[in-house]
């Protein structure tokens, strides 16, 4: 069943991209004790993700943090090296934490997978944004296929 508002984030492993290299981190540890604005994209370097989704969160980072968000994170079913390169190419500069879900275990655990095989992508994570407060989902905004409306930084900012 798809994760819902009020649910606790399931225990999985993610890979946090750091300047020192990939760092394995449990979702329990990552989301504990703080408010995280998490957004998911179908893939690094893909058109909408690179032109609108990630740049919007980089641009609105200060405003989101002024509304009580402690950290902004982007996840995708990509490996940590791709996520790191995409973050660097996109100028995230510490404003957005890149979280690799290389095997799609997080996407599967929250039941927000999509079948991108028609585009040669295989199984990926859906496009969404959520606010997680101390491991519990406070907001969840999942896009309809092919859409980019409710998962944007502007949309999330308007609901904080």
- Count, residues in the chain: 160
What are the residue numbers of the active site?
Answer: 49
What residues are paired with 97 via a beta bridge? Answer: 73
Q: In b/e form, how buried is each residue of 4-41, taking b as 16+ CB within 10 angstroms? A: eeeeebeebbbbbbeeeebeeeebeebbeeebbbbbbb
Reference 13, options 93, 90, 107; nearest CA is 107
What span, in angstroms and rounded, lies between the C-alpha atoms of 131 and 89?
25
Q: What are the structure tokens assigned to 48, written together?
A: 């909408």
Q: What is the DSSP letter of 23?
A: E
Contact criterion met (CB below 8 Å) for 107 and 101? yes
Give the contacts of 120 (CB within 8 A, at least 6 positions apart): none
């Amino acid at each position: 069943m798809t994760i819902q508002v009020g649910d606790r984030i399931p225990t999985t492993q993610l890979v946090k991209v750091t300047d020192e290299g990939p760092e394995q981190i449990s979702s329990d540890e990552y989301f504990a004790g703080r408010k995280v604005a998490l957004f998911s994209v179908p893939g690094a370097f893909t058109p909408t993700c690179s032109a609108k989704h990630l740049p919007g969160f980089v641009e609105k980072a200060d405003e989101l943090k002024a509304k009580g968000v402690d950290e902004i994170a982007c996840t995708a079913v990509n490996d940590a090296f791709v996520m790191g390169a995409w973050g660097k190419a996109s100028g995230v500069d510490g404003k957005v934490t890149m979280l690799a879900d290389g095997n799609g275990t997080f996407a599967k655990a929250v039941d927000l997978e999509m079948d991108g095989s028609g585009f040669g992508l295989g199984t990926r994570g859906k496009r969404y944004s959520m606010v997680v407060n101390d491991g519990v989902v406070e907001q969840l905004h999942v896009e309809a296929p092919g859409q980019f409306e409710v998962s944007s930084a502007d949309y999330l900012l308007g609901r904080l």
